[in-house]
Amino acid sequence: MRSGSLSSFSQLDRRDFLKFCSATAALMGLSELYAPKIAEAVTAAAKRPSVVWLTLSCDSGCTEMFIKAKNPGPAELILDVLSVDFNDTIMAAAGEQAEENLKNAVDAGGFILVIEGGMPSKPGYGTIAGREMMDIAKWAAPKAAAVVAIGSCATNGGIPGAKPNPSGLKSVSEVLGPMGIKNVNLPGCPADPKLLIGVVMNYLLFKKLPELDDHGRPKMFYSKTIHEQCERRAYFEAGKFVEAFGTPEAEKGYCLFKMGCKGPATYAPCPTIRYNDDVNWCIMAGAPCIGCLDMKWPDNFHPFYAKLKGISVPGFGGDVTADNIGKVLGVATVAGIAVHAVGTAAKGSKKGPEKGGGE
């Protein structure tokens, strides 16, 4: 689909646009004062950044989330900011016309290449129009101004790349890295489009990609664990845990650690970005985090409902763990909930994803 047809239904009014700019500034960890600067950067751009979006080996969940996004969305809002010149899943064109559109967009160069899905390394396991997915990515990437891998399948294999990985699936970094092409990784199953918008806005505002960590993830989104940001953390530190679903403790919103929550080992912004029109997220809804935005998901995080190992709490002596912290704190717990929520960090929250994982 060409950009004209995608954007024709997309007309933001000024108020929505400024709301979008404020939300984006907050998402990027910038002050509200940056909202007018974001508006200026978007307006000043000679044309909307061109996006070529390849959907490779995956279930296209990231595209689904992209077109159903709200705040900063809905889809028409996003499409007012980006010029999506090619997307395998949502374009109207098919067959040879689609292939021609892709060729035209890639030949034009200077686009942001978004890759959703991994790439099978075994011949014949993943082809589009007779071409291996890996070859399509290798052909398009050198012409791109920037490459963004979106979703778990593209960043770390996700479900199709989980053990035993029957297609020999490779991530975007594994395929493009040896070509000297560095990409941004936005892991998530699916990844929220707000993360992509944040990367693009950073590019427009500061004329560069955001600072990345060792896994290629923007630090502005992935530098804190879920646990560090969790609204139930006071209960963790008070030793108040849900022991079974459907109990009064679950109803009271106690910590889900004993129900298998992987929040202490998962680096992700879910409590900030939230889902379902920004109203909720997994733990808020009473479900333990299964770590689906982490680079080592799913292999390092199953069984999903098994308790994380080795989480201890510093500042209370070497033997204090999530299991006995309630007893150690004893009667001080009641008065201490609010204090501990602010002042104490769980040692587990400093662990990298490689060291996390379920039992």
Query: Which residues make up the interface to ligand SF4 (CB under 6 A)?
Result: 226-227, 230, 232-233, 236, 255-257, 261, 263-264, 266, 268, 270, 281-283, 289-293
Helix count and strand count (H, E) for the chain: 17, 9
The answer to whether the CB of 210 falls within 8 A of the CB of 220 is: yes
Query: ∠ at Cα 137 (180, 124), nearest 5°?
Result: 125
- CB of 304: closest distance to ligand SF4 in angstroms? 9
Query: Taken in order 165, 169, 173, 174, is the CA torsion positive or negative?
Result: positive
111 vs 222 by CB, closer to ligand SF4: 222
Shortest distance in whole angstroms from residue 51 CB to ligand SF4: 24
Task: Indicate the residue among 146 and 292 with the shorter CB distance to ligand SF4.
Answer: 292
- Is the distance from CB of 264 to CB of 258 less than 8 angstroms? no
- Rounded to the nearest whole angstrom, what is the least distance from the CB of residue 334 to ligand SF4 in the complex? 18
Residue among 358, 108, 144 at smallest CA distance from 258: 358
- Minimum distance between the CB of residue 178 and ligand SF4, rounded to whole angstroms? 29
d(CA 145, CA 111): 5
* For ligand SF4, the closer CB: 227 or 340: 227
Half-sphere exposure of 227 (CA within 13 A, CB side): 32
Cβ closest to ligand SF4, residue 184 vs residue 273: 273
- Distances in Å between the Cα of 268 and the Cα atoms of 115, 151, 215, 224 are 20, 13, 13, 6
CB of 101 to ligand SF4, least distance (A): 33
CA distance 9 to 185: 30
Nearer to ligand SF4, 48 or 302 (CB): 302
Please state, in angstroms and rounded to a whole number, the distance separating the CA atoms of residues 285 and 288. Answer: 9
Q: Where are the alpha helices (DSSP H) in the chain?
A: 3-7, 14-27, 34-44, 61-67, 75-81, 95-108, 133-140, 152-156, 172-176, 193-206, 219-222, 226-229, 233-237, 248-252, 270-273, 325-329, 332-343
Q: Which is nearer to ligand SF4, 36 or 303 (CB)?
A: 303
User: Least Å distance between CB 95 and ligand SF4?
Assistant: 36
Query: Closer CB to ligand SF4, residue 117 or residue 263?
Result: 263
Q: How far is the CB of 249 from ligand SF4 (least distance, A)?
A: 12
Q: Considering the complex, state which of residue 120 and residue 190 has its C-beta at the smaller distance from ligand SF4.
A: 190
Question: Phi first, then psi: what are they for 50, rounded to 5°?
Answer: -80, 135
CB of 84 to ligand SF4, least distance (A): 24
Q: Which residue is nearest to ligand SF4 (CB)?
A: 263
Structure tokens at 69: 């996004």
Rounded Cα gap, residues 88 and 145, in angstroms: 20
Amino acid 358 reads G
Closer to ligand SF4 by Cβ: residue 111 or 281: 281
The CB-of-201 to ligand SF4 minimum distance in angstroms stands at 22
